[in-house]
């Protein structure tokens, strides 16, 4: 997405040739090949028979008569003599027989043999064609299953000249595919972060005007605090930040717990959305604490006090909320002493905090959407 505008299309081969269809095509071609092979075998049998007959007919007139065993009724033989060894009745087809000498017969047989050879050659050519087709189908099927992509680009001379240098430089930089992918993902995350930030600030404003939003926050309060409880051992992560907390949970291996917790508390998405709003509000509040403490102050007490009301039934969060509410009743400077903030603030500056949360927050939002809905 961040790359230069791409010309042409990239279609996965699997979409064009569905694996099932290619498999069926391969099977059909294989069947045809088998049929042709059987036919070829038959023809080759004819040719062999013909050659044997030629040699027999050539040997017959060598003697005036041959001592043979004459087949009698298919089950018995009796001894006999073959005479007139140079007189043969040759079936020409259509019920026509012609009396021929051995020499003439061999000529006829040779002509037939030539015909058979031609047929065999034609059959072999057909088989090789079919086999090539089968190989093509097979390779296509394999490529499609490997996820090969067909790239089609219209050749446009102007754009080609323009972009070729750019492309060259990009390829020259030798950015491995993985790195580029990673960079793209990070860029997308940043984008999402910005969007969420905007959404958060608007929701914050809504919260100021709207009583309902505060109620939503009350709903959200306890659950958020529960999460904090889970995450309290995780010191590195800012446990007041719900998003960070959920991310930390998923990273530290208790993701399933975290998600089930979320789904439990957000049986319907109607609750989840306000929760996010509330959290993003808190986030936003804290982000702006550094640069403009005095400005944020009026909002601070109002919201935190509402949280306090609900979270009073949860002992641990109760304490913290008292602290936070007290802190916010004072000035912004005391926020720095909040233990929740402390975990963040000493280690990271405001400038640093933004990127960290920027990378984590969109992810957490995805997780919430995946887990909750």
Partner 1 sequence: MAAPAASSSTTAAVREMQRDLEHLQESSGPQAELELVNDEANVYKLIGPVLVKQDLAEAKANVKKRIEYISAELKRMDRALKDLEEKQNSKKESIFKLQQKMQAVQAKA
Q: Given the complex with partner 1, which of 101 and 260 has the nearer CB atom?
A: 101
Binding site for partner 1 (CB under 8 A): 89-100, 108, 111
Considering the complex, what minimum distance in angstroms separates the CB of residue 28 from partner 1?
20
d(CA 239, CA 324): 13
Q: Given the complex with partner 1, which of 90 and 323 has the nearer CB atom?
A: 90
Q: Given the complex with partner 1, which of 77 and 97 has the nearer CB atom?
A: 97
Considering the complex, what minimum distance in angstroms separates the CB of residue 45 from partner 1?
19
* φ, ψ at 11 (rounded to 5°): -110, 125
Tell me if 223 sits within 8 A of 217, measured CB to CB. no
Q: Given the complex with partner 1, which of 42 and 135 has the nearer CB atom?
A: 42
Considering the complex, what minimum distance in angstroms separates the CB of residue 177 from partner 1?
49
Considering the complex, what minimum distance in angstroms separates the CB of residue 179 from partner 1?
54
Tell me if 290 sits within 8 A of 236, measured CB to CB. no
- Please provide the DSSP assignment of 57-124 as one string: HHHGGGSS-EEEEEEETTTEEEEEEE--TT-EEEEEETTEEEEE-HHHHHHHHHHHHHHHHHHHHHHH
Residues 339-373: b if buried by 16+ CB within 10 A, e if exposed: ebbebbbeeeeeeebeebbbebbbbbbebbeebbe
Q: Given the complex with partner 1, which of 126 and 234 has the nearer CB atom?
A: 126
Considering the complex, what minimum distance in angstroms separates the CB of residue 91 from partner 1?
8
d(CA 88, CA 109): 12
């Amino acid at each position: 997405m961040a790359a230069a505008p791409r010309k042409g299309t990239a279609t996965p081969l699997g979409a064009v040739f569905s694996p099932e269809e290619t498999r069926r095509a391969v099977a059909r071609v294989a069947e045809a090949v088998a049929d042709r092979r059987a036919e070829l075998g038959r023809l080759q049998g004819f040719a062999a028979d013909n050659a044997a007959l030629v040699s027999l007919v050539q040997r017959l007139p060598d003697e005036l008569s041959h001592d043979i065993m004459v087949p009698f009724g298919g089950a018995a033989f009796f001894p006999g003599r073959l005479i007139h060894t140079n007189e043969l009745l040759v079936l020409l087809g259509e019920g026509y027989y012609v009396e021929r000498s051995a020499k003439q017969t061999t000529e006829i047989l040779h002509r037939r043999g030539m015909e058979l050879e031609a047929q065999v050659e034609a059959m072999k050519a057909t088989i090789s064609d079919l086999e090539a087709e089968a190989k093509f189908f097979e390779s296509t099927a394999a490529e499609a299953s490997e996820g090969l992509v067909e790239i089609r680009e219209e050749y446009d001379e102007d754009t080609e000249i323009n972009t070729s240098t750019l492309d060259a430089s990009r390829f020259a930089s030798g950015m491995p595919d993985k790195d580029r992918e990673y960079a793209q993902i990070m860029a997308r995350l940043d984008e999402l972060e910005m969007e969420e930030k905007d959404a958060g600030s608007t929701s914050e404003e809504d919260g100021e005007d709207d009583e309902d939003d505060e109620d939503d926050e009350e709903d959200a309060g306890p659950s958020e605090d529960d999460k904090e409880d889970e995450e309290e051992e995780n010191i590195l992560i800012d446990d007041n930040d719900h998003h960070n907390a959920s991310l930390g949970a998923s990273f530290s291996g208790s993701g399933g717990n975290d998600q089930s917790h979320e789904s439990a508390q957000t049986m319907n998405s109607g609750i989840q959305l306000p929760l996010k709003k509330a959290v993003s509000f808190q986030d936003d509040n804290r982000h702006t604490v550094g640069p403009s403490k005095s400005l944020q102050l009026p909002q601070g007490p109002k919201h935190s006090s509402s949280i306090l009301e609900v979270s009073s039934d949860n002992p641990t969060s109760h304490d913290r909320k008292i602290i936070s509410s007290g802190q916010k009743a004072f000035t912004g400077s005391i926020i720095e002493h909040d233990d929740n903030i402390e975990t963040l603030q000493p280690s990271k500056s405001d400038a640093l905090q933004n990127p960290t949360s920027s990378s984590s927050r969109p992810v957490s939002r995805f997780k919430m959407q995946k887990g909750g809905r």
